[in-house]
Structure 1
Amino acid sequence: MMSFKLRSPWIAAGAAASFLLVALAVKFSGDPKTQTAGTKGIPVSVSQARVMEFNDDFSTQGSIRALRYASVTPKVDGTILEIYVREGDRVKRGDPLFKSDNVRQEEALKMAQRDLEAASFATEERQEALIRAKADLERVELDYQRFAELLKEGAISQSMFDDVFTRYRQARAMVRSAESMLSSARSSLRKAQAALGIEEKNYRDTTVYAPMDGMVSKRMAEPGEMGRPGVPVLRIDDPSSLEVQAFLPAELYPKVWTGKTSITLEDPSGLYREELTVTTKAPVVDPVTRTFEVRCRTQGSPYKVPGAMARLTVHISSRKSTGVPSKGVVQKEAGPAVYVISGDTAIEVPVATALRSNGWTEITSGDVKEGMVVAVDGASMLSNRSKVKIVRRIP
């Protein structure tokens, strides 16, 4: 029992010394750069307010479409017999695309050809009849002139002259009649020629040809189906000349200008990025959707094809202002505020904010100047004149 009592004070003294060493180790441990004189403040990370460029941007999605395209339809009614192209095929202007049933057009063409032959034959007959009538008139006219001289000389009687004069008048009437009939025949010939031209066109129209260079982007019918004018069978796009289409909210209408406003076009997969300029702006805002259309022209590429979606950033404006990290802006009952660090004290500064860019917020009013140290991480835990401990400085 005596030995236990003598040993106990030494054990207590050793325990006290160990506790003191641990406390000192905790106090002086850590990176000296992250320690401050105050060790009881709220831990925060800080950064400096800086003057930087803020962009007033609007992000949306748009679609890429061909600037030039054609919806190809049959020109005549009829069953589609053959389609010579498939989706993805390249075509040149004038290449045959598809053919419709042409039996009816072929019969109509043959009939028009026969009508033209008949009209041509009738015209030739009328021309020959006119030639004969004119020859008769010339012969009778000579007799008429000769008998008129004889009548003046008293060599013939009046009745003989009257007979010749009657034949002369009849010959003139025959010429006029032949001329009229020839004119009618020629008119019929012209009508027959026009009718033949129409039937030839109808026959040719049973085969439809490419109206432009491009690529067959869509096939909307198959052989055996009924084709009608105005109902598309194929769509051809020119993939070399494209435009980007987007619909923007009405509040941006006065801020977007044709030929001035720039738009960044990006592929969602990051395959391309391109700066474009608005080339077309709708003259009105759609009253139903409260949006307006804008378009930008661009060039085609293996990654940019009609029908694809694209990510768009509309650049409305840009300006330089004082900014702070967005995490350092705290929403208070009276409005947004930031905490400016002075020594080991956080001073609450009410501010007004505007644009955001890359994790920074623009300060448009409030006593925040370039170079001031503001709280970032941990700012939401502060109140005016809170004691702080800086644990990290953000560049």
Structure 2
Amino acid sequence: MQTPKLLAPTAKNSISDSGKIRAGIIFLLLLGISLLGFWITRGQGPGAAENQGVNLKQAIPVVVAKPIRQVFEHRVATQGNIEAKYTALVSPRIPGTLEKIFVDEGDGVVAGKTRLFTIDSVKLEQNAMIQEHALAIARCGHQQALANLEKVKADLDKAGLDFKRFERLLKNHNTTQDTFELQQSRYLQVSAVYKLAQAQAALAAEQVRQAEAALAIAKKDLSDTTVLAPISGRISRRFKEPGEMGSPGQPVVQIVDTSSLEVSAFLPSTLYALVTPGRTPLEVTVSGTALHLQTISYKSQAIEPKLRTFEIKALLTDISKDVAPGSMAEVTAILDRREQWGVPAEAVLTRGGKSVLFTLDGAGLARQHSVHTGLESNGRVEILDKDVSG
């Protein structure tokens, strides 16, 4: 009796069986996809409400409120700088070598008292001495001219007496015509010499005044070698050192008056007419600290043509010592302030390019109104229409 044999599958049979398995899997996937699409199209899936186009009416909650009276402000915020109202760039009045500089950066100075620097004064001292001698010479010349004038005046008086005497003698026929004419000629000559002496005396007097003026200038130049502080304040910068050349127009030190500060800022040209110096209030914040409400004290007389802006300034009052020139400031100009009816900003909608507002009538139905809005402040909008706001 033979034992039965198990037939092992050949390679060909294995490949055939694997193909059948893969075909079965693909068929099952296609069937699943078809059933899923049918399920969705029949309205059983999560997007069924959207596919069937079901229109669900949703209730929108609203809040009904009355307009209230409040203060609206037209505010324009910008940035500005803290500046000293009074500054001085001090330069020598005359050219020369800087001999000494008595101050340094940070030092306090008093107007008309504190010495800042000196210019080499040797030549100016000598020039002053020369002008003093010139004045003395001019005064001596004036005295000489006056003395000569007195001498000529005496000669003129004697010549006048002689002329009158010979005139009487000629009338009485006691002298000749020739002798009379000689006396007359002498009188006229002395008269001319007297006028010349008067002119010389006047010239000498003018020369004295000229010498006095030259001496005053020499003394002024000598005094200008020592420059005093023109304003009170502190030395903010020192530009030169002793031994360097100084000349008018080239500053040696800069003085800043820290006791009088102002804020400077620029606004758009469209707001020019809304700013009134002495009346328009200004809010200023420096380094996070809000200062007291200020008032614009200056508005530039012309608009800057390139940037289309204009400058405003406000003199700061009641400021702390921590505020220094050069600090940046947050500036807000309050250009208008008025009390008016206002509604929440979200209540004003835009329909057809116009602002509209919905109100309730007597029956509790919403009615749309076209409105004219004004300023906006603290999330509320100003309503200018009296029939709606009231």
Q: Answer whether TM exceeds 0.5 for this pair.
A: yes
Superposed, which structure 2 residues align to 1:54-65 within 5 Å? Answer: 54-65=72-83
When residues 130 and 357 of structure 1 are mapped into structure 2, their CA distance, relative to the original with a 3 A threshold, is same
Runs of 5+ unmatched residues, structure 2: 1-57, 358-365
Residue type of the alignment partner of 1:237: V
Distance 1:322 1:149, change over 3 A: closer
**What CA distance in whole angstroms lies between the structure 2 residues aligned with 1:155 and 1:225?**
88
Change over 3 Å in CA distance of 1:184–1:321 after alignment to 2: same
Query: Which of the numbers 85, 102, 117 marks the counterpart of 2:121?
Result: 102
Q: Is 2:301 the counterpart of 1:296?
A: no
Matches within 5 A, 1:310-389: 310-318=329-337, 322=342, 324=344, 360=379, 362=381
Greater relative CO, 1 or 2 (CA 8 Å, sep 6+): 1
Q: Which has the larger radius of gyration?
A: 2
- Provide TM-score, normalisation by structure 2: 0.67
Deviations 1:94-143 (A, max 9, x none): 12322112233223222222222221111111111111111122223323
Which residue matches 1:211? 230
2:134 — aligned with what? 115
Deviation of 1:279 after TM superposition, in Å, equals 1.9
The Cα of 1:295 is off from its aligned counterpart by 1.2
In terms of fraction of residues, the more strand-rich structure is 1
Superposed, 1:6-17 pairs within 5 Å as none
Out of 179, 190, 208, which is 2:209 matched to? Answer: 190
1:58 corresponds to which letter in structure 2?
Answer: V
Letter in 2 for 1:212: I
Q: Which residue of 2 aligns with 1:234?
A: 253
Alignment partners' CA distance in 2, 1:80 and 1:171 = 60
- 1:22-171 map, 5 Å: 51=68, 53-95=71-113, 96-171=115-190
**Mean alpha-carbon deviation: is it higher for 315-324 or for 251-260?**
315-324
1:172 aligned to 2:163?
A: no
Q: How far has the Cα of 1:166 moved from its partner?
A: 3.4
Q: 1:356 to 1:303 in 2, by over 3 A?
A: farther
Match of 2:296 in 1: 278
1:210 Cα deviation (Å)? 2.4
Query: Counterpart of 1:306 in structure 2: which amino acid?
Result: P
How far apart, CA to CA, are the structure 2 residues paired with 1:149 and 1:363? 114
Whether the 8 Å contact between 1:47 and 1:325 is mirrored in structure 2 is no
Are 1:351 and 1:363, in contact at CA under 8 Å, matched by a contact in 2? no
Q: Could you give the per-residue CA deviations for residues 257-301 of structure 1, whole angstroms, max 9, x where no partner exists?
A: 33332111122232x521012222223332222222111122354
Which one-letter code corresponds to 1:97 in the other structure? L
d(CA) in 1 for partners of 2:125, 2:91: 20
What is the identity percentage for the equivalent residue pairs of Structure 1 and Structure 2?
34
**Structure 1: which 5+ runs fail to align?**
1-40, 339-346, 371-395
Answer whether contact 1:49 1:324 (CA < 8 A) is retained: no
Look up the SS of the partner of 1:260 in the other structure. coil
Instruction: Name the Cα RMSD after superposition.
Output: 4.0
| Stretch moving more, 138-147 or 126-135 | 138-147
Cα offset for 1:350? 12
Q: How far 1:49 moved relative to its partner?
A: 9.1
Alignment partners' CA distance in 1, 2:341 and 2:214: 77
Following TM superposition, by how much is the alpha carbon of 1:242 offset from its aligned partner in structure 2, in angstroms? 2.5
User: 2:324 corresponds to which letter in structure 1?
Assistant: V
- Cα shift at 1:61: 1.6
- Write the letter of the residue equivalent to 1:137: L
Inter-CA distance 57–158: structure 2 relative to 1 (3 Å threshold): closer
Whole-Å Cα distance in 2 between the matches of residues 179 and 203 of structure 1?
36
1:186 Cα shift?
A: 2.0
Contact 1:321-1:363 at 8 Å conserved across structures: yes
Letter in 2 for 1:185: A
